Amino acid sequence: MSAIFKHELHNYFHSLTAYVFGAFLLAFVGIGAMYYNIQAAISNFEYVLNFGSLVFVVIVPILTMRVIAEEKKQKTDQLLYSLPITTVQVILGKYLALLVLYLIPLAIISIYPLIFAQFGEVYLPTAYGSIFAFFVLGAALIAVGTFLSSLTDNQGLAAGIGIAVILLNYYSVSLSEYASATALGSVIALLVIYVLLGLLIRYVTGNGSLAYWIAFALAAVTVALFVINSQAFEGLLPAIMNQLSLFERFTTFVNGIFDLSAIVYYLTVIAFFLFLSVQSLEKRRYN
């Protein structure tokens, strides 16, 4: 795993990827700091991070689009399969290299509250709690981007899908206000999700029967529960959209509350999408 880790870091720092990523993140947070902390004379650095989280929509897909897609395009993933390492070690090595790239500009950003504290009153526990949550939020989005990169050998397509997925998650709370709150609307949305889940399982595992049966079983249970108690599904779709939002949970930290359940949720997202990335590579290996 260490060989993959070092190789990935070497490639990133010998290309523009690491520098573009760091520059965008620092520039966006710098603009936020100038707007909130300097021009508006507000001491809450966590507001800057809340503003800066929007930059993830662009920089995460740019950072992760090549991590696996390029390996597939260049056919170098076949060399990875011949190495005496597991697919899990390949994914973890690549993912940890991405986290190091993310930590470098974040380490610079972590100095900002100390600088602002020299000129005003900054509540450092909230500021650094928000920085930690900002790191875990970015780590979760990087895991999502890694999985999306494993689905294709086209870097542009991987970046496009990543931007769409992260943008949708960013605005999911706002969009939930326009989503159907009726029981029937929630059931229809769940059935669509089950179909997409079945297609995802089929792609990752290559087992169509397993995917169809899982989707069918979930749909049957949902329809049965709807017939028994339709009122339980009222308002379910907006609630799901709110709960799935990675960015909405970050606002809890911005408001000065260290939400341990949000950290657990981020770690679960990381583990889940890294697992899917491993399964995607495993499928290609056996094919």
pLDDT (tens digit per residue) in 188-217: 888 888 888 888 777 776 777 777 888 888
Whole-number pLDDT of residue 87: 81
Contact 191, 222 (CB under 8 A): yes
Q: What percent of the chain has pLDDT over 70?
A: 91
Whole-number pLDDT of residue 32: 83
Whole-number pLDDT of residue 53: 86
Rounded Cα distance, 151 and 165, in Å: 14
Whole-number pLDDT of residue 82: 65
CA distances to 43, 49, 237, 249 from 129, in Å = 15, 11, 31, 13
CA distances to 17, 50, 224, 226, 235 from 220, in Å = 46, 41, 6, 10, 20
Mean pLDDT of the chain: 83
CA distances to 28, 45, 89, 135, 143 from 32, in Å = 6, 9, 37, 17, 25
CA distances to 10, 35, 114, 179, 213 from 226, in Å = 54, 49, 54, 19, 20
Is the per-residue pLDDT at 37 higher than 80? no
Position with higher pLDDT, 215 vs 40: 215
Average pLDDT over residues 28-51: 79
Contact 192, 208 (CB under 8 A): no
Orientation of helix 56-64 relative to helix 124-150, angle to 10°: 50
pLDDT tier at 263, thresholds 50, 70, 90: very high
CA distances to 30, 31, 46, 49, 157 from 36, in Å = 10, 9, 10, 10, 35
**If you search the block for the tokens 């076949």, which residue do you land on?**
78
* Most confident residue range from 41-50, 170-179, 265-274: 265-274
Q: For the chain, how are helix, strand and coil distributed in percent, rounded to 5? A: 80, 0, 20
Is the per-residue pLDDT at 33 higher than 90? no
Is the per-residue pLDDT at 256 higher than 60? yes
Is the per-residue pLDDT at 101 higher than 70? yes
Q: What is the pTM of this model?
A: 0.88
Position with higher pLDDT, 70 vs 226: 226
pLDDT tier at 108, thresholds 50, 70, 90: very high
Name the least confident of 70-79, 104-113, 166-175, 238-247.
Answer: 70-79
Whole-number pLDDT of residue 80: 63
Rounded Cα distance, 81 and 63, in Å: 23
Name the least confident of 31-40, 50-59, 99-108.
Answer: 31-40
Is the per-residue pLDDT at 141 higher than 90? yes
CA distances to 14, 16, 47, 108, 176 from 63, in Å = 14, 10, 24, 19, 29
Whole-number pLDDT of residue 76: 65
Position with higher pLDDT, 83 vs 58: 58
**If you search the block for the tokens 């100038």, which residue do you land on?**
34
Whole-number pLDDT of residue 212: 83
Rounded Cα distance, 19 and 16, in Å: 5
